[in-house]
Amino acid sequence: LDPGPSRVAIVGRGLIGGSIELALAQRAPSIEVVALDRGEDLAAIAGADLVVLAAPVLENISLLRAIQPHLGPSTIVTDTGSTKAAIMEGAQGLRFVGGHPIAGVAGAGRTFARADLFAGRRWILTPGHSTPAADIKTVTVLAEWCGARVELLDAVDHDRIFALVSHLPQLAVSALMHVAGTHSGEEALALAGAGLRDATRLAASPPEIWRDVIATNRDSVSKALDLLIQALVEMRDDATGEALTRIFASAAASKRRLDDAPI
């Protein structure tokens, strides 16, 4: 019977770190939680058996080094970033299990933190090839305290998949809202129907988070952008409507699969 970690340190108290804090207070009230704002003295993490890095990706990668003096031999480290290969690379030599909780709909920042942000959602872990099962188990307990269910994935596969199903959608929506907003004029934007409003919810996402995500997954994101650009060029040069028909049919079929898939 695995009691899970008894002392958890969280570095970063935004939407993700803050929500983990709230979930632990609710679901695991007997464990000790130390939560640090970015920039606070990392000495406070000493004695933790699990450290959760919940800052933007590049800062998490820097923190891997900065926390080292404060880690014991049995301290496990995990993170919550949206890319996994770069941080796995940087974490060599640590007892590290990469993590990526898939949050539900929320705004950005601590204001939107909720104990149930991860309830019923996936929490992907990307252990290395030689990661002990016990370390994976410790992070799994944390995810389950947050109400999530764990799925294991190879870090490189993770990044390739999320380039297509998460990073590309974010860039496409931001580019679309930028173009529609910049070129249509003030009153014109008011003429948009529900379609544009629904399609562009992601356009409010914080650039400082996404800059790091894209920077640490550049190859896969470039390839995904090329595929999207290619499809748009085909529709632009589509004299007969053939490309539109083909791409709409493919999109409708994928949309059905997406909506039928469990969350």
Positions 175 through 214 that interact with its own copies (CB under 8 A): 175-186, 188-207, 210-211, 214
Q: Does 104 bind its own copies (CB under 8 A)?
A: yes
Shortest Cβ 177–its own copies spacing (Å): 4
Residue number with CB closer to its own copies (13 or 100): 100
Shortest Cβ 161–its own copies spacing (Å): 4
DSSP 8-state class, residue 163: I
Residue number with CB closer to its own copies (49 or 151): 151
Beta strand 122-126 with 96-101 is: antiparallel
Shortest Cβ 33–its own copies spacing (Å): 26
Shortest Cβ 56–its own copies spacing (Å): 12
Residues in CB range of 61: below 8 A, 6 or more apart: 86, 87, 90, 216
Shortest Cβ 50–its own copies spacing (Å): 24
Radius of gyration of the chain measured on its C-alpha atoms: 20
Contact 23, 118 (CB under 8 A): yes
Number of amino acids touching its own copies (CB under 8 A): 89
Chain positions 221 to 260 lying near its own copies, rule: CB under 8 A, are: 221-222, 224-229, 231-233, 235-236, 238, 241, 244-245, 247-259
Tokens read off for 9: 């340190």
Chain positions 62 to 101 lying near its own copies, rule: CB under 8 A, are: none
CA distances from residue 130 to 57, 92, 94, 97, 100 in whole angstroms, order as listed:
23, 11, 12, 11, 19
Q: Which of 97, 41, 90 is nearest to 69 (CA)?
A: 41
